[in-house]
Structure 1
Amino acid sequence: MLRVVNRVLIGVVGLALVVAGGSVLAVGLGVKPPSWWVHDGRHDVLLSDAQRTRWRGDGWWWPTVLAVLAVLVLLALWWLVAVLRRRRLTEVAVSTGDGEGALLRGRALEGVLATDAGDLEGVAHAHVRLVGTRTAPEARVRLGLEPHVDPGVALDHLTANALAHARDSAGLTTLPTEVWLKAVKHRAERVS
């Protein structure tokens, strides 16, 4: 969701900047703007001296300007942190047994876990995401179950098979996991 909001916001801001910059460039190069446009001609300014100094003497003006700028800076910082923060675990530290270690790609472990979980009887589809740190990963598993499957049995099979296999293969002592179970809805089919 955040990725979609991020892309839409970047697109809107980018489009607004391109349109504003293009209009200023076009008017500066001598293109005659329409009558409703903010610039009248090549030597026009965006804000006249009267417009810039209109509220300068009022007591509310500068606190309002500073508050708006502070809110914009905080929103920009929040956006930057949200973009830079990684949602997925990129690598997992694997114990090799000889005191050394290796790094396993997070997506590879996610793929194996999803394949193992999807191979369980009655599981229509499985999606896995790893979060946490490289030394203490956590799994988020979403299972789409067929209507005839008992959720408790599916959860037991997932724990005993796929999760145990992933934990043992990566040499992890624990692999905390959140599992979301959802029934798969099938479209009605005509039987003849």
Structure 2
Amino acid sequence: MLRTVNRLLLGLGGLALFALGGAALVGGLDLERHWDFRLPGWWPFGGPDDVILTDGARTRFRDNGWWWPAVLAALGVLLALLLWWLLSQLRRHRLVAAPVDSGDGVGGQLRGRALEDAVAAEAEAMDGVARARIRLMGRPAAPRTRAGLRLEPHARPATALERLSREALRHARESAGVGSLPAEVRLNAVRHRARRVT
């Protein structure tokens, strides 16, 4: 969801800046007079001496009792949304460590990166896998995996997926001591030239 929100905000912000910049450019360069065309009446900038906000537009609602509470409420909502967005960007998506039961009652911590590297090395050792990228996400009590496998031309995707689930992910599940380890796997093929058959 965060990726969708980021793309939507980036697209809307870019579109608004593009429209505002184009309107200011048309007015600032006085293209209406130079290129001999008419701008619509609602166009924000009419010429090089035009301003963004006139004195009348700025002070139109000042005498109304609802103006300042409405402005402060809108700014408060905008600030809350921006803080939510900033905190969601800073939140860790990667699993830093998982608790491991060592049998002595004290327990230990298994670093997420170490487990990722171990699963990736085991996946890359499988026949047909050129490269593996593993990422552990979620909470320590309920981790999940995002894996990306780059397959050799001769590899069978179904076989690679089955072996990843049966071997590498099972070993990771046993190492972390969790009952389940859901995985999202993306398969890509290594770029290669076609062989010439004679």
With the shorter chain as reference, the TM-score category is: 0.5 to 0.7
Structure 1, gaps ≥5 residues long: 10-35, 37-48
Q: Deviation digits for residues 47-86 of structure 1, max 9, x if unmatched?
A: xx99975530257744652354134213322223213321
Shift of 1:189: 8.9
Specify whether residues 70 and 189 from structure 1 end up closer, same or farther in structure 2 by C-alpha distance, changes over 3 A only: farther
User: What letter corresponds to residue 78 of structure 2 in structure 1?
Assistant: L
Aligned residue type for 1:179: V
Query: Which residue identity lines up with residue 180 of structure 1 in the other structure?
Result: R
DSSP-derived class of the 1:65 partner: helix
Indicate the percent of aligned positions where both proteins have the same amino acid. Answer: 54
Correspondence for 1:153 among 145, 148, 159: 159
Q: How does 1:111-130 map to 2 (within 5 A)?
A: 111-130=117-136
Q: Check if 1:186 corresponds to 2:192.
A: yes
TM-score by length of 1: 0.63
Structure 1 residue 144 corresponds to structure 2 residue 150: yes
Q: Which residue of 1 aligns with 2:178?
A: 172
For 1:141, what is the secondary structure of its paired residue?
A: strand
CA shift for structure 1 position 177: 1.7
Give the equivalent residue in structure 1 for 2:138. Answer: 132
Contact 1:94 1:171 in 2 (8 A): yes
Distance, in Å, in 2 between the alignment partners of 1:125 and 1:67 is 52
Aligned counterpart, 2:71 = 65
Number of aligned residues: 153
Map residues 24-63 of structure 1 onto 2, 5 A cutoff. Answer: 53=59, 55-58=61-64, 61-62=67-68
- For the aligned residue pairs, the C-alpha RMSD in angstroms reads 3.6
Letter in 1 for 2:83: L
For the residue of structure 2 that corresponds to 1:173, the secondary structure is: coil
Q: Which runs of 5+ in 2 are unaligned?
A: 11-48, 50-54
Q: Distance in 2 between matches of 1:127 and 1:80?
A: 27
- AA aligned to 1:168 is E
